[in-house]
Amino acid sequence: MKIKIRDCRNTLLLLMLPLLTGCGNQWGWYVVNPSTEQGRGNLKFLIGGLGNTILLSVCALLISVVLGLLVALPGLSENRWLRWFNRVYVELVRAVPLLVLLLWVYYGLPIAAGISINVFWAGVIALALSDSAFEAEIFRAGIQSIAKGQTEAARTIGLNYRDTMRFVILPQAIRRILPPLGNQLVYMLKISSLVSIIGMQELTRRANELVVTEYRPLEIYTILVIEYLILILIVSQGVRWLERKMGSDERG
């Protein structure tokens, strides 16, 4: 998951190469030429999906983090039924392809539950559900990495389960959990492109719609690739920064 800025710059240059050398009339960059009104409009339309891509991913991540924690805790219990619940949840949710889950939540859930769900929330729910199984595993590993003596010490000074988690275990586990959580955000930003299939106006959907009206898939999808690249690059740099900060914060 580690992307070096230099690698990405090289990739970008490679992508630009045909553009710079000019490949005759195969290219039609006028569709996204910022100096023309049409190009400007198209670019604005494409980039206009960015907000939804980010909002969708962040909402889904927040929900999946909470869900993941709620699923991870029973997995650490001494009660076998609670552990069993954790196993079944993780295995089942991991087994369903995101695209299938997405279609089911958008088209199936409203009928099954008798509720109406808009495209955005259908996307958030599907993304969050599918990601929650992975979050649960991340949390479980992070919490298990904290020495057992910490729980024992907390118990002997009278802390109950909730306070032990809240004041002793989670604050320590979170340092180890945050970096993989950051990676999940990167993953979420990419995988959210699937939500275009149900009509969510995010980056990918915008590109698809523009291709239909402009008949310029090569140029428009190239822009789409660049949009994702820039977005992911910025976020992964943020994750790396977070990793360093957390690492240096470890005391003793």
Partner 1 sequence: MSETNQTVAAIEMVDVCKWFGDFQALKDVNLRVDTSEKVVICGPSGSGKSTAIRCINRLERHESGQISVDGINLTDDKSSVAAIRAEVGMVFQQFNLFPHLTVIENLTLGPIRARGMSESAARNLAESYLERVRIPEQAEKYPGQLSGGQQQRVAIARSLCMEPKILLFDEPTSALDPEMIAEVLEVMAELADSGMTMIVVTHEMGFARKVADTMVFMDHGRVVESAPPEQFFSNPRTDRCQEFLSQILSH
The verdict on 79 binding partner 1 (CB under 8 A) reads no
How many CA atoms lie less than 13 Å away from 218 in the CB half-sphere? 11
> Cβ 136 to partner 1, closest distance in Å?
23
125 vs 154, which CB is nearer to partner 1?
A: 154
**Any alpha helices (H) in the chain, and if so which ranges?**
5-21, 37-47, 50-75, 80-95, 98-103, 109-113, 119-144, 148-156, 161-163, 170-191, 203-214, 217-249
8 vs 159, which CB is nearer to partner 1?
A: 159
Q: Which of residues 147-166 bind partner 1 (CB under 8 A)?
A: 147, 149-150, 152-160, 163
Q: How far apart are CA 190 and CA 232, in angstroms?
A: 8
60 vs 169, which CB is nearer to partner 1?
A: 169
> Cβ 65 to partner 1, closest distance in Å?
20
**Any alpha helices (H) in 145-216, and if so which ranges?**
148-156, 161-163, 170-191, 203-214
Q: Are 60 and 185 in contact (CB under 8 A)?
A: no
7 vs 152, which CB is nearer to partner 1?
A: 152
Strand, coil or helix: 201: coil
Q: Candidates 97-105, 167-175, 204-212, 239-247 — which segment interacts with partner 1 by CB under 8 A?
A: 167-175
Q: How far apart are CA 152 and CA 138, in angstroms?
A: 23
Q: How far apart are CA 47 and CA 49, in angstroms?
A: 5
Q: Which of residues 171-210 bind partner 1 (CB under 8 A)?
A: 171-172
Q: Which of residues 120-149 bind partner 1 (CB under 8 A)?
A: 147, 149
> Cβ 142 to partner 1, closest distance in Å?
14
Q: How far apart are CA 147 and CA 171, in angstroms?
A: 13
24 vs 149, which CB is nearer to partner 1?
A: 149
114 vs 252, which CB is nearer to partner 1?
A: 252
> Cβ 79 to partner 1, closest distance in Å?
12
> Cβ 152 to partner 1, closest distance in Å?
5
Task: Name the residues that contact partner 1, by CB under 8 A.
Answer: 147, 149-150, 152-160, 163, 167-168, 171-172, 251-252
